[in-house]
């Protein structure tokens, strides 16, 4: 299978602090890769680097074979249409309704007419069981609903790659299940994704493989199938709180 995402000898420091010593891993086209690692290990920095919000000190990030660390800001704007980042907090516009929040990327980045936009937004809200909330403002939604609407907005342009940054953190079982369904629905459409999480049931439900980030390196990558069968090894030690 073709590699859609590849980090090669990625290094990143903030001041004196080396966060990423040497990161190398890849994600196949259509695959969902889980990314585990302790708080502050650098998971969000990896995702932000993939949409050019941060640049590595050295190393490369290939997206369909193109090294995006070499692109200028205008070229990165094009990349961000293909690569969606689902932020840790929904990042909705508080002054806009759910409908307008979802319509916003379409109005900004496409030439769709207002009636086409309306159809696209309502189709997506229907698909994700949010249809009755279109006229509410983010402040009127529960945290779980905000996250689901934030995710819907992130993917409305039909991205090829979606980066999920702890989308289920702090949610109740009902909303966690809905988020898992959204991730699986995106996967069924052929989307390639990286799923940062501490929520192992969700990682097991959605991911093909899981990578463990520790001390600035990807120290282990394992298929979910194998992890389910085998309860020993580095990833299980991390999940069970045996290592930081």
Ligand X SMILES: Nc1ncnc2c1ncn2[C@@H]1O[C@H](COP(=O)(O)OP(=O)(O)OP(=O)(O)O)[C@@H](O)[C@H]1O
Q: Considering the complex, what minimum distance in angstroms separates the CB of residue 38 from Mg ion?
A: 10
Contact partner, 40, from ligand X, Mg ion, none, Cβ < 5-8 Å per class: ligand X
CB 221 within 8 A of CB 214: no
Q: Considering the complex, what minimum distance in angstroms separates the CB of residue 195 from ligand X?
A: 13
Nearer to ligand X, 52 or 128 (CB): 52
User: b vs e for 121-159, b when ≥16 Cβ sit within 10 Å of the residue's Cβ?
Assistant: beebbeebebeebbeebbeebeebbbbbbbbbbbbbbeb
Letters for 6-35 (x = contact with ligand X by CB under 6 A, - = none) are --------x----x----------------
Nearer to Mg ion, 42 or 125 (CB): 42
Pairing of strands 161-165, 192-196: parallel
Q: How far apart are CA 229 and CA 34, in angstroms?
A: 17
Q: Considering the complex, what minimum distance in angstroms separates the CB of residue 99 from ligand X?
A: 30
Longest dimension (CA), the chain: 55
Nearer to ligand X, 36 or 103 (CB): 36
Cβ neighbours around 232 below 10 Å, total: 7
Backbone angles phi, psi at 36, to 5 degrees: -105, 155
Q: Considering the complex, what minimum distance in angstroms separates the CB of residue 40 from ligand X?
A: 4
Question: Residues 39 to 68: which contact ligand X by CB under 6 A?
Answer: 39-45
Task: Read off the tokens for 81.
Answer: 């249409």
Sole window of 38-46, 67-75, 102-110, 118-126 interacting with ligand X (rule: CB under 6 A): 38-46
Residues 6+ apart with CB under 8 A from 201: 176
Q: Considering the complex, what minimum distance in angstroms separates the CB of residue 85 from ligand X?
A: 12
CB-count exposure of residue 65 (10 Å: 0-12, 13-18, 19+): exposed
Nearer to ligand X, 87 or 99 (CB): 87
Among 19, 35, 42, 44, binds Mg ion (CB under 5 A): 44
Name the site residues for ligand X (rule: CB under 6 A): 14, 19, 37, 39-45
Binding site for Mg ion (CB under 5 A): 44
């Amino acid at each position: 299978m073709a590699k859609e995402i590849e980090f090669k000898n990625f290094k990143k420091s903030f001041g004196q602090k080396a966060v990423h010593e040497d990161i190398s891993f890849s994600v196949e086209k259509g695959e969902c890769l889980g990314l585990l690692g302790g708080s502050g290990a650098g998971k969000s920095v990896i995702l932000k680097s993939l949409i050019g919000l941060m640049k590595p000190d050295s190393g490369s990030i290939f997206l369909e074979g193109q090294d995006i660390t070499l692109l200028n800001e205008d070229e990165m704007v094009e990349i961000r249409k293909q690569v969606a980042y689902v932020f840790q907090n929904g990042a909705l516009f508080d002054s806009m309704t759910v409908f307008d929040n979802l319509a916003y990327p379409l109005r900004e980045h496409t030439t769709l007419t207002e009636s086409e936009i309306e159809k696209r937004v309502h189709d997506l809200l229907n698909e994700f069981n949010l249809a009755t909330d279109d006229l509410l403002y983010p402040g009127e939604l529960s945290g779980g609903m905000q996250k689901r609407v934030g995710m819907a907005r992130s993917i409305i342009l039909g991205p090829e790659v979606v980066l999920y940054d702890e989308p289920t953190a702090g949610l109740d079982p009902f909303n966690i299940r809905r988020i898992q369904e959204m991730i699986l629905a995106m996967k069924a459409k052929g989307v390639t994704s990286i799923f940062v999480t501490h929520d192992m049931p969700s990682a097991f439900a959605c991911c093909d493989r899981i990578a463990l980030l520790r001390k600035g390196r990807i120290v282990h990558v394992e298929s979910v199938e194998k992890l389910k069968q085998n309860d020993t090894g580095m990833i299980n030690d991390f999940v069970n709180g045996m290592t930081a």
